[in-house]
Structure 1
Amino acid sequence: MKKAIKLTLAVALLMGSTSLFAQKFGRINTQEIIMAMPETKTMQTNMEAYGKEIQDNIETMQVEFNTKYQDYQKNYNTLTDMAKEMKEKELQDLQGRIQEFQGRAQQEYQKKQNELLAPIIEKAKNAIDKISAAGGYLVVFDTSTGSLAYFDEATLTDISADVRKELGITETPAAK
């Protein structure tokens, strides 16, 4: 990304200083735009529900483990060595299943979040592309990535308002 920005700027500089000043540069905070989209709020609600479902399953498994462990401790003195060994094995297996479920659940949560976020990002990107092309911008910098070491904000046009309008976002961003 940095190489692409540097290359673009180098080519623009080589084209001559007079043509450089005729070019339009823009900036946008893509992350801010995406977070303001109604689709993102819906995705977050869905992810919270999905996360709660996963957490409920983990808690159910943990309650089962705790119940069996308490039963094991309560009856420890009356169990035969073979019964103790079987109960210990059962507890270890259950604990292993809980850990495996937690790992898989975390992966599935991330996968679902990525699946739900992809069309939102695509919609924002399409709006940015449309506004950039319509506005005749040579380059639009995404300030949310932090990939720029320096830029003069006064020379860049913030196209966020136009992209917000294109996406139908009516609320204004919170002051920084």
Structure 2
Amino acid sequence: MKSLIKVLLFVGLMFSFTGLSAQKFGHIDFAKLYSLMPGQDTIREKYQQYANGLRAQMEAMQTEWESKLADYQSKSSTMTDLIRRTKEKELQDLQARIEAFQQQASQDLQAKEAELTTPLIERAKKAIQDVAKENGYSYIFNSAEGLLLYSPPADDILPLVKKKLGIKD
């Protein structure tokens, strides 16, 4: 009975180790793949146009504030207290609007970047998944993250994914 248990335990361990050895691991430099994908120029242009529009609006607000400040400084000595307080409040409100615009513009730029890059990233991920399935890989690691301390060049699937996406060298 004890020998039967030992044999069953040994067979069970053998099956679990063979299951582990059947897994295939690969890696890809996702940043390199992404940089090679067509469409980068279009993304950059659209992002730049959007950023330029926000920058122009910001500059207009800044110019308005500077103009009102110069006007206030040149006439403040002749203003009544009521007008001076009104002008100061106007300058403070405009400054607050400028600061709020800067914060919102920063968030909008991040959202625009995500909106523009997400389709390309998803396309790359899909190609990686397809190549992994087609070539029997269980796991694919991103070598750009620096987590791989060693990997054989044969396990780099970048050439396969580039081929899948139609990217030429």
TM-score range, shorter chain: 0.7 to 0.9
Partner in structure 1 of residue 104 of structure 2: 104
Which deviates further from its counterpart, 46-55 or 162-171?
162-171
Partner in structure 1 of residue 29 of structure 2: 29
Higher helix share: 2
- Matches for 1:86-165 after TM superposition, within 5 Å: 86-146=86-146, 148=147, 150-154=148-152, 157-165=155-163
Is the 1:25–1:156 contact (alpha carbons within 8 Å) kept by the matching residues of 2? no
Displacement of 1:70 in angstroms is 0.4
Instruction: Give percent identity, aligned residues only.
Output: 38
If you compute each CA radius of gyration, which structure gives the higher value, 1 or 2?
2
Which deviates further from its counterpart, 162-171 or 75-84?
162-171
Which amino acid is the alignment partner of residue 164 of structure 1? K
Partner in structure 1 of residue 17 of structure 2: 16
- Matches for 1:14-93 after TM superposition, within 5 Å: 15-16=16-17, 20=21, 23-93=23-93
CA-to-partner distance for each residue in 1:10-64, whole Å, 9 max, x for gaps? xxxx8326962x5432110112211221223321221111111111110110000
TM-score, normalisation: structure 2: 0.83
TM-score, normalisation: structure 1: 0.80
Q: Which runs of 5+ in 1 are unaligned?
A: 1-13, 172-176
Relative to structure 1, the CA distance from residue 69 to residue 25 in structure 2 (aligned partners, 3 Å threshold; closer, same or farther) is same
Relative to structure 1, the CA distance from residue 83 to residue 18 in structure 2 (aligned partners, 3 Å threshold; closer, same or farther) is closer
Which amino acid is the alignment partner of residue 144 of structure 1? A
Which amino acid is the alignment partner of residue 16 of structure 1? F
CA-to-partner distance for each residue in 1:96-147, whole Å, 9 max, x for gaps? 111111111111111121122221111001100111111111221111233x
* Local SS of the residue matching 1:144: helix
What is the aligned residue count? 156
Is the 1:35–1:41 contact (alpha carbons within 8 Å) kept by the matching residues of 2? no
Which amino acid is the alignment partner of residue 165 of structure 1? K
Is the 1:28–1:158 contact (alpha carbons within 8 Å) kept by the matching residues of 2? yes
Q: Which runs of 5+ in 2 are unaligned?
A: 1-14
Structural RMSD (CA): 2.2
- Tell me how far apart the structure 1 counterparts of residues 168 and 45 of structure 2 sit (CA, whole Å): 20
Displacement of 1:151 in angstroms is 3.8
